Amino acid sequence: MKNTKGQPFILFITALVIIALIYGQHLLIPFFLSLIFWFLIREVRNLYRKIPFIEKRFPIWLQNMLATILIFFIAAICVQMLTKNIQSLSQSLELYNQNLNHIADKINSRYDINIKNILSDYSGNIDFSSLLSNVFTSLTNIFGNAFTILLYTLFLLLEEAIFSNKLKAIYANPEKFENINSIILKIDKSISSYLTLKTIVSLLTGLLSYIALLIIGVESPFFWSFLIFLLNFIPTIGSLIATIFPAIFSLLQFGEFEPALYVLIVVGLIQILVGNIIEPKIMGNTLNISSLVVLLSLSFWGAIWGITGMVLCVPITVISVIICSEFPVTRPIAILLSEKGKI
C-alpha cells in the first residue's frame, strides 16, 4: 500500500504557503522586485566591467553604485514622463466622452442599430478620470515602494559579497558545497539571461510602438509605449492587451475607426514580428518551461499578486524547475514542468 501519512501534512504546508503569499504580498512583492533590480544591476555591472579602465580602477562597490544610480535614474525619468502623459490624458476626458457619443451616432446611422442608449449608458458609467487614476496608481505603487526596493537591493548587494563564505561554512563537505553552488549558479544564469534578453526585447517592442503611435498621432505615445513595454513581460496575454489598449483609446481620441484600425494593425504587426521572429532568435531556448505550465503559472500568480504576479510568474517558475531538477524526490515535478521532458 502507498504511504499516505504525509499527504495531509503536505497539503497543510501548501495551504500555509499560499496564505502567506496572499497576506504577505506587501512585504514579498517589494522583495521580489528588488531581486529583479539586483539581477539587472549585476548585468549592468558586467557591462561596465568590459571597459578595462573601470574593471581595473573601480572597486566592486563603486561599480554596484554606478549601476544602481543608472537604473534608478532611468526609473525616475520614466515616472516623470508618465506623470506628464497622464496629466495630458486627463485634460482630454471631455473630448473622449464626446467622441464616444459620436461613434455611437455613426454606428446607429450606418447600420440602423439602436445602440446609442446602450453605449451612452456605458459611457455615463465609465469614469475616465477614475480609470486613469487607477492605472496611474498601479504604476506609481511600484515606484512608490522605491525606497523599500532600494533598501532590499542594497542588502542583497552586501550579502552577495559574503554569501559564498556562508555557504562554505554551512556545507563543510566540498562535494555538497559544489552541488549547492551549482544549483545557485544555474538559477543565476537562467534568471539573468531571461531578464536581460526579455528587457531588450520589450524595449525594442516599446520603441517601435512609440514611433508608430507618434506617426499615427496618438496622444501621449510614451505612456502607451511604456505600458506595452511593461505588459510584454506578461506571457501570452500581455502582448494582446498591449495591442488592444492603445487601439481603444485612439478610437476615443479621434472618434473615427480608421486610426484605431491603424494602431491595431501596426502595433499588432510589431508584436508578431518581435514576439514570433526576433525574440526566438535572440532568446533561443533559454527557458525550459512548458507553455501550459506558463499559462497555469500566469493564472496562479495573477490571482494572488495581480499584474506584478503575472510579470514575476516566469522567473519564479524557472527557479522552481531548476531546484526541483536537482533533487531525486522532486525531479519528476521538474520533468512535468519542463518543455520537452528534458532537464
Q: Give the pLDDT confidence of 322-332 residue by residue, as tens digits.
A: 778 777 788 88
Look-up of cell digits 488592444:
244
Collapsing DSSP to helix, strand or coil, 62 comes out as: helix
Top mean pLDDT of 44-48, 53-57, 60-64, 264-268 is at 264-268
What are the CA-CA distances from residue 68 to residues 50, 77, 162, 315 (Å)?
17, 14, 19, 21
Collapsing DSSP to helix, strand or coil, 135 comes out as: helix
AA letter at 338: S
Instruction: Delimit the domains of the chain by residue range.
Output: 25-170, 201-285
The number of angstroms, rounded, from the C-alpha of 262 to the middle of its chain's C-alpha atoms is 26
Which position has the higher pLDDT, 253 or 96?
Answer: 253
Position 235 scores a pLDDT of: 73
**185-213 in b/e burial notation, b at 16+ Cβ within 10 A?**
ebbeebbbbbbbbbbebbebbbebbbebb
Res 35 pLDDT > 80? yes
Position 28 scores a pLDDT of: 86
Classify 217 in phi/psi space as left (phi over 0), alpha (psi -120 to 50) or beta. Answer: left
pLDDT bucket at 40, cuts 50 / 70 / 90 = confident
Whole-angstrom Cα distance, residue 171 to residue 188?
Answer: 20
pLDDT tens profile 218-275: 888 888 898 888 888 877 777 888 888 888 888 878 777 888 899 999 999 998 888 8
- pTM for this predicted structure: 0.74
